[in-house]
Structure 1
């Protein structure tokens, strides 16, 4: 399995939820950060999206905007007044999922927005989220110039969203995952900065080392054996890896192992000794000591937080 595929396996991108937002006239809605990715497809009308005090985006009909980290943000009409009370849509994905939410003033232009939320393991996704921009904006997704994968994906999404058929939730999960993966792949293809963790995922040599780490973290990897995966010398591999990824191969390996260990601890399916072996530690004591240094909690204390 290639590195990017394994990373998407790790982050558990699932539980897709959607609502249709149908604001009219003067309106504002806000969203509070969760462990989820947020996407908006503007079907009719337009909106202003405010990510922070420095970032405001104009999103028009036919545009897709993806916020990978699901950070706090607000969306509004162009003419909204500060006196307009913002509708918090954070909980609506649970309470009103698959419904159409009407809000705003009684007169004025109507807008129709498909809002999608997809949950993920933010700890496992940390390198990916740090490497991605705060938002990915794809213009005119319904036009002929849009990528074919996006047109097909949105077509299937629309069909499944409107029809109540067995297995729909699973289909939607897969469709949203595919859309997110394709957005990331599209972003990687357009990267100009070669010193970026995302560049390493598609690097003709380094990607082999990342795939090895993510596929078999339990193996006793060394810089030499990882360099062998890339058919490179030890020194050339270590220099190139540190330059592009931003840390040494063994530091990256350790960080990944303990993100994975934290995921296993939260899931509660394995004993601490089993988890230690799964991430490359033959000694439970050594594993627990390193875990505490990184998380300021013992594995047992960390697990208790999620029970």
Structure 2
């Protein structure tokens, strides 16, 4: 398994469709901020403007454009940068939105159709992949037609959102997750500047090491043995890895091991000694101490808290 796949499997991402919109000018909607959520908007028909909190420039969106706001920042969608925006909750009240079906709002002028949704991430997870994503991820319609995967997926989502047949929301949720993963891959491929942690995936030698760590985190890795995987000297590898990943190789190994342990604690029934051994710890005490440093609680308490959380949900 490659490192990016393993990371994305770890994140416990859950997507959901907000709604399909039918908006007519003049219209403006302000979406409030929300932590641990990445929001997305896809322009299916027409055009609009997007203004994201703490970004200087407004973003123009038209047919086929896709934006993801990874950190849940407050933002405004409108037919024009000059149109006043109404808070989303007030829009719901004004039109008596029933919670399903298209959201119809605006003054009756030029139309715009968006598909809007979000990716929520488990509060238990803090991962440098998410932490270091830029404020806005964007794939324009002309890019999407060059990248046929996105063109096809957006077209399928538009069809399902319009028809809303039985199972449509489940299909849209799965396709939305694919979009999130593919947009991250597109960002990695197209970004020339340095992005902490993410840039490690664009270096072939460091990316190979990441995949080896994720494939067998329990291996008794050393900086020297990882340097051999990268075909680099110990010091050159250590410096390059730390520069790109924003942590040392040994820090990253510990991070991956404990992320794997957290999944085992919540998704399986292995004993603590068995989990400790499976991720490369020689004693349960050492594992417990390291786990508490990363997650704030010891493994047994972490498991109990998550069992209680699942029973309440």
Which category describes the TM-score, using the shorter chain as reference length?
0.7 to 0.9
Asked if residue 206 in structure 1 is aligned to residue 206 in structure 2, the reply is: yes
Q: What corresponds to 1:19 in structure 2?
A: 19
Q: Are the structure 2 counterparts of residues 206 and 61 from structure 1 closer, same or farther at C-alpha, using a change threshold of 3 Å?
A: same
Q: Which runs of 5 or more residues in structure 2 are unaligned? A: 93-97, 309-313
C-alpha distance after superposition, 1:83-104 (max 9, x if no partner): x4443799xxxx835x212234
Normalised to the residue count of structure 2, the TM-score between the two structures is 0.80
How many pairs align? Answer: 299
Q: What corresponds to 2:83 in structure 1?
A: 80
Q: Are the structure 2 counterparts of residues 247 and 34 from structure 1 closer, same or farther at C-alpha, using a change threshold of 3 Å?
A: closer
Shift of 1:263: 3.7
Contact 1:37 1:117 in 2 (8 A): yes
Shift of 1:5: 2.2
Contact 1:29 1:88 in 2 (8 A): no
Q: Which runs of 5 or more residues in structure 1 are unaligned? A: none
Say which SS state the counterpart of residue 205 (structure 1) adopts. helix
**How does 1:1-307 map onto structure 2 within 5 Å?**
1-24=1-24, 25-62=26-63, 63-78=65-80, 79-81=82-84, 84-87=86-89, 96=99, 99-104=101-106, 106-121=107-122, 124=125, 126-141=127-142, 146-162=146-162, 171-194=171-194, 196-267=196-267, 269-306=269-306, 307=308
Q: Are the structure 2 counterparts of residues 193 and 32 from structure 1 closer, same or farther at C-alpha, using a change threshold of 3 Å?
A: closer
RMSD: 3.1
Q: Are the structure 2 counterparts of residues 160 and 252 from structure 1 closer, same or farther at C-alpha, using a change threshold of 3 Å?
A: same
Q: Are the structure 2 counterparts of residues 126 and 253 from structure 1 closer, same or farther at C-alpha, using a change threshold of 3 Å?
A: same
Q: Are the structure 2 counterparts of residues 112 and 167 from structure 1 closer, same or farther at C-alpha, using a change threshold of 3 Å?
A: closer
Contact 1:13 1:119 in 2 (8 A): yes
Contact 2:160 2:168 in 1 (8 A): yes
Structure with the bigger percentage of helix: 2
Contact 1:50 1:56 in 2 (8 A): yes
Shift of 1:142: 8.4
Contact 2:2 2:214 in 1 (8 A): no
Q: Determine the C-alpha separation between the residues in 2 that align with 1:261 and 1:172.
A: 31
Q: Determine the C-alpha separation between the residues in 2 that align with 1:89 and 1:302.
A: 40
Shift of 1:125: 6.2
Normalised to the residue count of structure 1, the TM-score between the two structures is 0.82
